[in-house]
Structure 1
């Protein structure tokens, strides 16, 4: 984009549409080398008598005809650019008929109407509908849709669109047609069409009011046996949404279609959800436990959008978190209710701290409600989704479940059928609670991660404990100055034997108990607890009650107390991670001076306690959550360790973590082995919380065993690899073997990879895992292997899943390999971005992320990464997607 920079769009410039589209009637004639789209739009001026021209969005369209009220529009009355159709002198209300020709088979961007293998499908969020026909492609234009799809009956026996099927028939020449009607007004980004040779499984759901809803999942014939889990998940989600939010489904039919080529995870199109096949297909043989849980959560997420996104939608794309943040919160609560609430919280916070906090600290940092953008696709981010969900969670914490439900009821009832703003969501919560959310809304308008410095002072004579708190937030691209946030902090005090009951001194709301929610609203603030009978250790931000970074001068003994005695599962896990981070950093420092630095005994003690608890739980001697113990035993990832450093020391981070893990493996080898033997006993495969927890702990201790480098451990791992009856165990064993540095593992790595490939070469999603294992291998030579795999017969550079597995797996999850001092990793990613940007700009801009963090690294790497970004920036005809990311990064 050297010669012409794209325009920036600002929230402050929002203007309501000059025209409304009352009805949308679409007819698609699908052929192998093109598709003709006829749109009949009933259009009305927002202000009668206005002389504003009608400006419709359109991209990559060939206009075949244009009529108003059945008469051709004369050439002098309209004009066309690459992105718009402008028609002048139109009536107050009229029918516009437009016929366009498009080429779905050439549409590699996977936006609009395109072909995935032999199937036609659509992706219209955010601005893909303009690649189908000329339209007011904005979310605040809501219309009633009727769609007719025509295609060859043999190639495309299944023709789908939004809503309810109203008629169908045959056409001469072996073609057929189906018409669909959606009675609910929607923006065009929720439009969907699918045409293909598909099979389906059906179920019926009876709503709380007694209506029968047909549930139907469409897949290719080969995948029909992999739909049951998604169907079960859908019915669970429908029942949960009725119980928790009182929301009932509103059509006669709910459909899901699995598509191999898809830029996103899934899309909530009204009544016709289109899913990346990786997010809907599941079976024990081909799907890991993590993916089983992911499928359940994503199915729920897209279903929940029926109300939080579809029935009530966004006024403009600056309000994206209105639907996404709220719905991520809803799906997180659903998943917590379906399994372990603490485990779900730990998983979500791990993602947030490792990746969203990094986003907040990088050049693409933006508020949950951005104030501007160049390309909206770049703002489908963890900040909008995950941090947005945390903001909703804080509202829930401040109001409590009962008031939050009343607020959501008011929001849905007040705005049903409307396109609204984040302010209107917050206002509904304010109206039911009487609270003033003015300051709280800074969470939406200010970017960055707030930082809290907290000091505690115990007065043994007065039996009081005082917390002194100061908050700040670093500058981010949109603002140097940050005003204080309204931060809810859930807190408890922990004594030698566990939680302490005490009195919180608050003139407005004094309370007694062992857990309190403090509302931090000032730059500096103090809180005093009375009747504290011993010197406590504060358990801060229980359940991670706010997305902040905290500095508190915990001693290692304090952290050990929290691990052992805290009643909050999240804080126990967090304390175990803090111990590990400190110890690993000590080893990092020592690596420069000692060939074999020691590992602090505090970590060994904490790990030994966890291992003994895990051994008891595995043997049935206690009821502790095995999955939670597995997470507590797992060392912080290299990605998270990097996030805790101001300047990342790539080599020291990697080698120190490896050394600490090997030390634990050596000292606790027999204990890990005892746990493994108990949990490895044969038992029927189940996808339930208890079975998933057992496999998680088993594979966690297996990872430690392999880290020891012992031949016996490699033999045990190989045995699991060849005998596993489920993908969780098989893939875990393969990963440990391939990523191991031991000579025993190296002798079998190639054979294991070949064996895995031969076994699963017909299963696309499994082979993506095979690519990912090799791409993320931290051992030397991984980049050369990745380059070779780009030429593999089953690698398809047009498929986003394969690109994410191989290119994303190396550049995003192989820190030591990607950041090799030679700069070869940066050069590799640059080449891939430049190739991909001409085909699929969305995926190109997302894969670019590792280069954008260049300021986090040493001078040598900074220079190489900056050079790579400048090379991309200097490319002619750069997409808006990549241009925005690169220009902001530099």
Structure 2
């Protein structure tokens, strides 16, 4: 049986809430084969708690619940890592397959984060997770766009919402990188094989750029695989990324090659950055991409690089798109925004003070990043708060920005 409950919380002006009618699309999968024992059917939850019993099920199944995201609600359902890995590898529902993978990846990254925070070495990746990831990577019965998203780990911004404050940003970043690298090392052979297969498909079609759905999905997957392989930072992948850039059929291909090289301190990285600039300097959209890739880099000198980018002839402080591409991208670079010496906070604060004179709305949005000072560990928290206090004491600061600053300091 499946027991489902919905304790409706009280809301302002409505102390007593009545149960909602929630459609829960559900299927049952065989643990032995991964095939469906019970095709999808909709269970209708109308009361606060209901029990659903399935008859004539020949073996103990694994339930796939809330298929196709059949209701806009959060499902709390305890799953073992083994069950999540099974659903990630075998679920016939695309949404649930993706969600199981994201949930399992989050568990593995959180476990690694906890170990690093305790001063311990990062653990080996669970075998069931690696094999499920490999299964998704080599699957041929899955939409390639979904395959791309299913192979992608939750980003740091998402993970922050899953970890209790105060957070150590460097441990979180290193935990995610450890998991990412572990997956790529374990599946390096398959990654290259799938990448080469996709490359051959492009060549078989004459290397012609197409905008149909299959071509877009293939391009998305191929670019994602290149970026994944780049985490190893080995000469083979550097060479591959340069080839990917040089043979790219569109901006998506070339910018993906640039992302693949962005974290690797090699001469080829700088050469590709300059080549992309030379080819794209007259295209404002491409230039925003060019700025953002560098501002999101993991390399140690990223703060200094951002300062140089803000002096670049093609950067304009008055241009909101350029600001978002450089300062916005940097502030979302969790690792370097939270750099241990506080240089990231100081940089963003300096920018806010300048931008506030020109565009208070944009300045106030940047101030939001500093307002989260209570969510990080004490040393960084104190440095973020100090920058908010700098802004509070700034003469003629706009009402827009001051409102965020005051709320941040008092919150």
Task: Tell me if the contact between 2:392 and 2:402 (Cα under 8 Å) persists in the aligned partners.
Answer: yes
Equivalent in the alignment of 1:612? 138
Q: Find the residue that maps to 1:514 and give its secondary structure.
A: strand
1:101-129 superposed Cα distances (whole Å, 9 cap, x missing partner): xxxxxxxxxxxxxxxxxxxxxxxxxxxxx
Equivalent in the alignment of 1:641? 159
**In the alignment, does 2:27 pair up with 1:465?**
no
Aligned-residue offset at 1:769: 0.9
**In the alignment, does 2:45 pair up with 1:518?**
yes
Task: Tell me if the contact between 1:500 and 1:532 (Cα under 8 Å) persists in the aligned partners.
Answer: no
Equivalent in the alignment of 1:691? 215
Task: Tell me if the contact between 2:122 and 2:175 (Cα under 8 Å) persists in the aligned partners.
Answer: no
1:483 & 1:775 partners in 2: Cα distance? 47
Task: Classify 1:579/1:887 alpha carbon distance in 2 versus 1 (closer, same or farther; 3 Å).
Answer: same
Structure 1 residue corresponding to 2:83, chosen from 553, 558, 570: 558
Task: Tell me if the contact between 1:818 and 1:826 (Cα under 8 Å) persists in the aligned partners.
Answer: yes
1:824 & 1:799 partners in 2: Cα distance? 24
2:56 & 2:372 partners in 1: Cα distance? 45
Task: Classify 1:781/1:690 alpha carbon distance in 2 versus 1 (closer, same or farther; 3 Å).
Answer: same
Aligned-residue offset at 1:830: 1.4
Aligned-residue offset at 1:494: 2.2
Consecutive unaligned residues in structure 1, runs of 5 or more? 1-463, 503-512
Aligned-residue offset at 1:850: 1.6
Task: Classify 1:873/1:541 alpha carbon distance in 2 versus 1 (closer, same or farther; 3 Å).
Answer: farther
**In the alignment, does 2:87 pair up with 1:568?**
no
2:195 & 2:179 partners in 1: Cα distance? 20
1:833 & 1:798 partners in 2: Cα distance? 12
Q: Find the residue that maps to 2:88 and give its secondary structure.
A: helix
Task: Tell me if the contact between 1:629 and 1:697 (Cα under 8 Å) persists in the aligned partners.
Answer: yes
Q: Find the residue that maps to 1:806 and give its secondary structure.
A: helix
Task: Classify 1:663/1:725 alpha carbon distance in 2 versus 1 (closer, same or farther; 3 Å).
Answer: same
Task: Classify 1:747/1:543 alpha carbon distance in 2 versus 1 (closer, same or farther; 3 Å).
Answer: same
TM-score (norm 1): 0.42
Structure 2 residue corresponding to 1:580, chosen from 92, 102, 105: 105
Task: Tell me if the contact between 2:145 and 2:217 (Cα under 8 Å) persists in the aligned partners.
Answer: yes
Aligned-residue offset at 1:581: 1.1
1:337-373 superposed Cα distances (whole Å, 9 cap, x missing partner): xxxxxxxxxxxxxxxxxxxxxxxxxxxxxxxxxxxxx
2:367 & 2:123 partners in 1: Cα distance? 36
Structure 1 residue corresponding to 2:123, chosen from 589, 593, 597: 597
2:281 & 2:60 partners in 1: Cα distance? 61
1:491 & 1:855 partners in 2: Cα distance? 40
1:769-792 superposed Cα distances (whole Å, 9 cap, x missing partner): 111011011221101110111111
Task: Classify 1:795/1:487 alpha carbon distance in 2 versus 1 (closer, same or farther; 3 Å).
Answer: farther
Structure 2 residue corresponding to 1:631, chosen from 149, 152, 171: 149
Equivalent in the alignment of 2:24? 490
Q: Find the residue that maps to 2:388 and give its secondary structure.
A: helix
Task: Classify 1:678/1:801 alpha carbon distance in 2 versus 1 (closer, same or farther; 3 Å).
Answer: same
Q: CA RMSD in A?
A: 2.6
1:747 & 1:605 partners in 2: Cα distance? 35
Q: How many residues align?
A: 397
Task: Tell me if the contact between 1:469 and 1:526 (Cα under 8 Å) persists in the aligned partners.
Answer: no
How do 1:642-791 residues align onto structure 2 when only pairs under 5 Å count?
Answer: 642-647=160-165, 648-681=167-200, 682=203, 683-740=207-264, 746-791=266-311
Farther off after superposition, 555-564 or 689-698:
555-564
Q: Find the residue that maps to 2:299 and give its secondary structure.
A: coil
Q: Find the residue that maps to 1:552 and give its secondary structure.
A: coil
Task: Classify 1:466/1:694 alpha carbon distance in 2 versus 1 (closer, same or farther; 3 Å).
Answer: same
How do 1:443-458 residues align onto structure 2 when only pairs under 5 Å count?
Answer: none
1:3-59 superposed Cα distances (whole Å, 9 cap, x missing partner): xxxxxxxxxxxxxxxxxxxxxxxxxxxxxxxxxxxxxxxxxxxxxxxxxxxxxxxxx
Structure 1 residue corresponding to 2:340, chosen from 821, 834, 841: 821
Task: Classify 1:589/1:697 alpha carbon distance in 2 versus 1 (closer, same or farther; 3 Å).
Answer: same
1:729 & 1:558 partners in 2: Cα distance? 36
Structure 2 residue corresponding to 1:853, chosen from 372, 380, 383: 372
Aligned-residue offset at 1:663: 1.6
Task: Classify 1:517/1:564 alpha carbon distance in 2 versus 1 (closer, same or farther; 3 Å).
Answer: farther
Structure 1 residue corresponding to 2:69, chosen from 544, 549, 555: 544
Q: Find the residue that maps to 1:605 and give its secondary structure.
A: helix
How do 1:860-871 residues align onto structure 2 when only pairs under 5 Å count?
Answer: 860-871=379-390
Q: Find the residue that maps to 1:515 and give its secondary structure.
A: strand
Q: Find the residue that maps to 2:396 and give its secondary structure.
A: coil
How do 1:89-104 residues align onto structure 2 when only pairs under 5 Å count?
Answer: none
Task: Tell me if the contact between 1:501 and 1:532 (Cα under 8 Å) persists in the aligned partners.
Answer: no
2:403 & 2:24 partners in 1: Cα distance? 38
1:569-619 superposed Cα distances (whole Å, 9 cap, x missing partner): 111100011111111222223334544531111211111111221xxx3xx
Task: Tell me if the contact between 2:86 and 2:132 (Cα under 8 Å) persists in the aligned partners.
Answer: no
Aligned-residue offset at 1:733: 0.4
2:392 & 2:184 partners in 1: Cα distance? 47
Query: Of Structure 1 and Structure 2, which has the larger fraction of its residues in helix?
Result: 2
Q: Find the residue that maps to 2:45 and give its secondary structure.
A: strand
1:814-851 superposed Cα distances (whole Å, 9 cap, x missing partner): 10000112222112111211211121112112222222
Task: Tell me if the contact between 1:738 and 1:746 (Cα under 8 Å) persists in the aligned partners.
Answer: no
2:56 & 2:338 partners in 1: Cα distance? 50
Task: Classify 1:766/1:853 alpha carbon distance in 2 versus 1 (closer, same or farther; 3 Å).
Answer: same
Aligned-residue offset at 1:630: 1.2
Task: Tell me if the contact between 1:772 and 1:806 (Cα under 8 Å) persists in the aligned partners.
Answer: yes
Task: Classify 1:796/1:818 alpha carbon distance in 2 versus 1 (closer, same or farther; 3 Å).
Answer: same
TM-score (norm 2): 0.88
Task: Classify 1:551/1:465 alpha carbon distance in 2 versus 1 (closer, same or farther; 3 Å).
Answer: closer
Task: Tell me if the contact between 2:64 and 2:96 (Cα under 8 Å) persists in the aligned partners.
Answer: yes
Pick the structure with greater CA Rg.
1
Query: Of Structure 1 and Structure 2, which has the larger fraction of its residues in strand?
Result: 1
Aligned-residue offset at 1:540: 3.5
Task: Tell me if the contact between 1:676 and 1:701 (Cα under 8 Å) persists in the aligned partners.
Answer: yes
Task: Tell me if the contact between 2:28 and 2:38 (Cα under 8 Å) persists in the aligned partners.
Answer: no
1:130-172 superposed Cα distances (whole Å, 9 cap, x missing partner): xxxxxxxxxxxxxxxxxxxxxxxxxxxxxxxxxxxxxxxxxxx
1:840 & 1:862 partners in 2: Cα distance? 27
